[in-house]
Homo-oligomer: A and B are copies of this chain.
Amino acid sequence: VNPASAQPGAHSDWLTLNVGGRLFTTTRSTLVSKEPESVLAHMFRDKCVWGSQQDKHGAYLLDRSPEYFEPILNYLRHGQLIVNEGVNIRGVQEEARFFGIEQLGEQLEVALKNTQPPDDHSPVS
């Protein structure tokens, strides 16, 4: 338990992402701190670079899948990769690659192998 991170002052920079039409509310520090070298962190570290891509309500626009982005965002919040049964790991991989979250790559590889039978070569799992 780390109550401090939920106290006022700890998050000074709330923002909303519009990922493919679904809204995610989070903080700039979540996007920037956990994986500081990721593409996502670079996007949100410098307000000037990214600030122009907002919808009319001020949410930052990302042309990606909201469903597969969700576990990425949770990972940035608490450092755990947690994916529901039935959610395609390959979708999460695509988002991790796009946003340059390299630390998730190996975990996702392992998870993918565990969910596919060894003789399954189908393009869709």
- Chain A residues packing against B (C-beta within 8 Å): 1-3, 6-8, 11, 14, 16-18, 20-27, 30, 39, 42-43, 49-50, 52-53, 55, 61-65, 67-68, 70, 73-74, 77-78, 80-91, 94, 97-100, 107-108, 110-111, 114, 120, 122-125
Distance (whole angstroms) from the CB of A25 to the closest CB of chain B:
4
Number of copies: 5
Query: Which of B3, B11, B80, B123 is close to A107, meaning CB atoms less than 8 Å apart?
Result: B123
How far, in Å, is A16 (CB) from chain B's closest CB?
Answer: 7
A3 and B65: CB pair below 8 A? no
In the assembled complex, how far is the CB of residue A38 from the closest CB belonging to chain B, in whole angstroms? 9
Task: Given contact pairs A6-B62, A11-B63, A85-B85, enumerate 8 new A-B contacts (beta carbons under 8 Å).
Answer: A3-B100, A8-B49, A21-B25, A21-B26, A81-B124, A82-B124, A84-B88, A114-B120
